Amino acid sequence: MSRLADLFATKQKEILNVYCTAGYPRLNSTLEIIEALSENGADIIELGMPYSDPLADGPVIQNSGNIALANGMTIAVLFDQLKDLRKLSNLPLILMGYMNPVLQYGMEKFCADAAAVGVDGLILPDLPEYEFETEYGAIIKKHGLDFIFLVTPETSETRIRKLDELSTGFLYAVSSSATTGKDKDFDAVELYLKRLANMSLRNPVLVGFGIKDRATFESASKHANGAIIGTAFIQALEEATDLKATVKQFLGTVQ
Catalytic residue (one of 57, 113, 146, 164): 57
- The CA distance from 58 to 212, in Å, is 14
On whether the CB atoms of residues 221 and 7 are closer than 8 A, the answer is no
On whether the CB atoms of residues 219 and 235 are closer than 8 A, the answer is no
Is residue 213 annotated as part of the catalytic site, yes or no? no
Nearest residue to 224 (alpha-carbon basis) of 149, 185, 182, 173: 173
Is residue 57 annotated as part of the catalytic site, yes or no? yes
Residue 158's Cβ-count burial label (10 Å; 0-12, 13-18, 19+) is exposed
Catalytic residue (one of 14, 35, 43, 46): 46
Nearest residue to 125 (alpha-carbon basis) of 103, 102, 97, 145: 97
- The CA distance from 170 to 173, in Å, is 9
Q: Would you please indicate which residues are annotated as catalytic (active-site) residues?
A: 46, 57
